[in-house]
Structure 1
Amino acid sequence: MAVESVESDADIRSILEYETIAVVGCSSTPGKAAHDIPAYLDERGYEVIPVNPFADEILGRPTRDSLAEVEAEIDVVCVFRPSEEVGGIVDAALERDDVKAVWTQRGIQDDEAAERALEAGRQVVQDRCMMVEHRRLVA
């Protein structure tokens, strides 16, 4: 069965209207997509929560080791980790009642995890760049 991830511009735009984005795999290294894309989102007013167990602070914000450690409400979980790690990240997102959408960046996809998220009533975007979509649809 094909996974019915979010594809329409209207649906993507609706996800981009959410305010709080937990970035799993957020990087402290400028020049890396996992740093520059969250920085772009931060500069546009999103509440970016870096999730990275190997850094103390990214973008001037304290990092969290995992989604479970994020105390704030999360609207979107944005994933910058290899596809084989997506399943565990989605499971952690589904343990929270607040996550409305899971977004995997370009080149990152796990259809089984996406299906679990969809069955749990969450929106899913796979293999798309959040910055590119924001520039195209919102900026």
Structure 2
Amino acid sequence: MPVDSADDIKAVLDYETIAVVGCSSTPGKAAHDVPNYLLEQGYDVIPVNPFADEIFGKPVPDSLAEVDAEIDVVCIFRPSDEVGEIVDAALERDDVDVIWTQLGIRDDDAADRAENAGRTVVQDRCMRVEHRRLVA
């Protein structure tokens, strides 16, 4: 079952490197403003988007497979029907500990696969909201 206790979510927020799949280059969109907030809080944010070359002054890989750095958390800003494919890509990596889907995004089957593979899953929650509530 995806984590939902304050203690478990706070533990996830202790990780440092977050790959944001679906990160947007457009200020005002949640997929831009939430990762930007996380950057401002000191997280190492890796934007992932096949339609952008640079976000937050960083080069943007097209997919998780193209991320050279170690990833702790994969944060998903894509529609729920795309989550399964993203989770499968995350599971191909040995370094991903957490799969987090943003507010309004969930895929219970993909969450089950991730949990069965030993990953922590947070679904349908905003990282900025949870950070402000539990850490800031």
Common fold by TM > 0.5 = yes
Distance in 1 separating the partners of 2:56 and 2:130 = 21
Query: Which of 105, 127, 134 matches 1:130?
Result: 127
**Where does residue 106 of structure 1 map in the other structure?**
103
Between the two proteins, the alignment pairs up a number of residues equal to 136
Aligned-residue Cα RMSD (Å) equals 0.3
SS at 1:34 equivalent:
helix
Matched, 1:61 2:95: no
TM-score (norm 1): 0.97
Letter in 2 for 1:33: A
Runs (5+) with no aligned partner, structure 1: none
Instruction: Give 1:1-139 correspondences, 5 Å limit.
Output: 4-139=1-136
How far did 1:25 drift? 0.1
Cα shift readout 1:78-119 (whole Å, capped 9, x = no counterpart): 000000000000000000000000000011000000000000
Which runs of 4 or more aligned residues in structure 1 lie more than 6 Å from their structure 2 counterparts after TM superposition? Answer: none
Gaps of 5+ in 2: none
Describe the SS at the equivalent of 2:82.
helix
